[in-house]
Amino acid sequence: MAGKAAQKESRTARRARLLEDARGVRVADAYDVCVVGGGAAGLVAAITAAEAGAAVVVLERDLECGRTILATGNGRCNLANRGLAPIVYNDPAFVEATCGWTLLTDVLAFFDDCGLATCEEDDRIYPRSLQAASVRNVLLSRARRADVTLACGRAVTNVRMTGAGAEVLYTDPGETDGPSRTLSCGAVIVASGGGVAPVAALGLATTPLSPVLCPLTCEPSPFLMLDGRRLRARATLLHNGQPEYAAPGEVLIRDYGLSGIVIFDISRLATPGDVIELDLLHNVPEGEARRAAQAAGSLDGLLDPQVAAVLMHEAGSLDAALELARALPFRVVGPAPKQQSQVTRGGLATSEFDPCTLQCRARAALLACGEALDVDGPCGGFNLSWAWKSGMVAGASAARVAGVTA
């Protein structure tokens, strides 16, 4: 019987349970602060506003809040990085004005207050459990302790500004095509990730959405036959023949192109027609590589034999194969289709918002944070750190806008 009790809940049963739970959450007609989106930035914004004394509701279209956190860091949630600095982001001036130079200190202090123990691998900071669920759980627990209403299964369809703040229109759980309900609030925070549809009618400037931190599709190449092979290489991005970026790392060959963390970082800069060159021998001195190749009569002693075989076949000679291994080219077509990106670039233009408060310059009761704004950084905890810190700033500002004092 214990075995039956421990059986894993089916996906259908889980969805039905979550839908029932969502329907059981009562949403009032008015709040001090309404947060649109219950992901990383939205949860931190809600917690910060609530702990400042605001009555807060989170409207999340999914049936769970914080679900996207579970997929971060390969399920381990790389929540910060020792190398945090505004310069690594696509809009460093805006990030510096929002975060100052205490970004890492502020993020770690917030999670320490959540009761989360952390550990480090190289410069990357993880929960000590190495489970992303730990990060989500402590955020949800802290939100509930602060009396945040977590209203899941509710898709926001529109936001209208009023003289007293804003009206937010949303659907009931399971009724995405049904009539919208309306709540009023003193301030609304858009934390809806890469989507800005809820505020599209407000006419704010936006930057087109595009996937970044994702695999790249490349033009056909014999080397794409090595689908599934993992290579240690130094990857260099060439734009019009000039190097734009270079870093070592693991590259995963796919039948459509290239993947791996170093490729994800390159995807922030790459444009169609650019070339990625892989130096497969970047950590082997040229003389040593040549001696080893000549002694073996092949590259088998230096590289994965399957890779070595394709290099020899395409190059035609040992010397040419060595040269090709130092600069193996792949021409970029664009982001790989149907591959989930870690981050969506674009969204609300930062020029529309005061970086110190994250308030909309034209509509003081409207704020934004996290991926809803056109801010992105490289792999390694940088994007989550922006989500955490921008959520703190937006939440504190929203409480003030709503006239709440702790």
Residues 353-388 as b/e (b if ≥16 CB within 10 A, e otherwise) read bbbebbbbeebebbbbbbbbbbbbbbbbbbbbbbbb
Q: Where does the pLDDT of residue 287 fall: very low under 50, low under 70, confident under 90, or very high at 90 and above?
A: very high
Q: What is the pLDDT of residue 220?
A: 96
What does the pLDDT read at residue 377?
A: 93
Q: How far apart are CA 134 and CA 321, in angstroms?
A: 48
Q: Which residue has the higher pLDDT, 74 or 322?
A: 322
pLDDT at 374: 94
Residue 254 has pLDDT above 80, yes or no: yes
- Cα–Cα distance for residue pair 65/140, rounded to 1 Å: 8
To the nearest 10 degrees (0 to 180), the angle between helices 132-145 and 40-51 is 30
Please give the pLDDT value at position 376.
Answer: 93
What proportion of the chain, given as a percentage, has pLDDT over 70? 96
Rounded Cα–Cα distance for residues 268 and 270 (Å):
6
CA distance 357 to 372: 15
Write the CA distances from 131 to 46, 141, 383, integer angstroms.
23, 16, 18
Round to whole Å and give the CA distance between 406 and 401. Answer: 13
Question: CA 102 to CA 245: how far, in whole Å?
Answer: 27
Spans of all domains in the chain:
27-210+343-401, 216-335
pLDDT at 3 over 60: no
pLDDT of residue 73: 85
Q: Is the pLDDT of residue 253 over 90?
A: yes
Tens of pLDDT, residue by residue over 354-394, are 999 999 999 999 999 999 999 999 999 999 999 999 999 99
- pLDDT at residue 338, as a whole number: 65
Q: φ and ψ at 386, to 5 degrees?
A: -65, -40
Higher pLDDT, 161 or 5: 161
The structure tokens listed for 372 are 């809803």
Instruction: Give the amino acid at 352.
Output: E
pLDDT exceeds 70 at position 103: yes
Specify which residues 252 forms β-bridges with: 230, 259
pLDDT > 90 fraction of the chain, expressed in percent and rounded: 84
The CATH H-level (homologous superfamily) assignment of domain 27-210+343-401 is FAD/NAD(P)-binding domain (3.50.50.60)
- Give helix 318-326 / helix 305-315 axis angle, nearest 10°: 110
Sequence-distant (6+) residues with CB within 8 A of 297 are 318
d(CA 144, CA 32): 16
For residue 219, count CB atoms less than 10 angstroms from its CB and return exposed for 0-12, middle for 13-18, buried for 19 or more: middle
| 34 in Cβ contact with 59 (< 8 Å) | yes
Angle between helices 286-296 and 318-326 (to 10 degrees): 140
Mean pLDDT of the chain, nearest integer? 93
Query: What band does 223 get if pLDDT is binned at 50, 70 and 90?
Result: very high
pLDDT band, very low/low/confident/very high, at 339 (cuts 50, 70, 90): low
Structure token pair of residue 358: 């994250």
> Which candidate, 262, 255, 264, 276, places its Cα nearest to that of 232?
262
Residue 155 CA, distance from chain mean position: 21
Q: What is the pLDDT of residue 1?
A: 41
Q: Comparing C-alpha atoms, which of 112, 89, 133, 134 is closest to residue 380?
A: 89
Q: Average pLDDT for residues 214-221, to the nearest whole number?
A: 95
Q: Is the pLDDT confidence value at 77 over 50? A: yes
